[in-house]
Amino acid sequence: MIEGGCLCGGIRYRYDGSIEEVSICHCSQCRKAQGSAFAAVSPVATADFHILAGAELLREYRSSPDKIRVFCARCGSPIYSAKDDVPGVRRLRLGTVDTPFRCDNAFHIFTESKAPWWPEADDLPRYAQRKP
């Protein structure tokens, strides 16, 4: 079980599963949405993801025709994204996770869009676009 929440504590969630993949996305949308060099995300099953508190604080932004980004209206913390064509999966923003976990299946994607000021400082697999 994984628990987490937003910066202000208004939103709390639980995921009844484990983190099995860490995707470090360097695309320009993720960089802007996170305000950072990349976004660290993991796919989680929608049916196993539960908002425990603060559902009224969740806001959606349609960043592209088929994708929403969900965040806290009070503090702005990104919680997850979801694509219309994959309703059973949410992409959890791992910076909001409070439960310690370890995942050996980590990789970088959209590295051709990487912020030029961010060094490549690890030996994780890298993909110019999506992972094949």
Q: Give DSSP secondary structure letters for 18-82.
A: ----EEEE--HHHHHHHTSS-EEEEEEEGGGEEEEE-GGGEEEEEEETTEEEEEETTT--EEEEE
Out of 2.40.110.10, 2.170.150.70, 3.40.1180.10, 3.90.1150.200, the CATH code matching 2-113 is: 2.170.150.70
Q: Which amino acid is at 68?
A: I
For the chain, 132 residues long, the average pLDDT of each consecutive 10-residue run is 98 97 94 92 98 98 95 97 96 97 95 90 86 78
pLDDT score for 45: 98
pLDDT score for 20: 96
pTM: 0.91
All structural domains of the chain with their residue ranges = 2-113
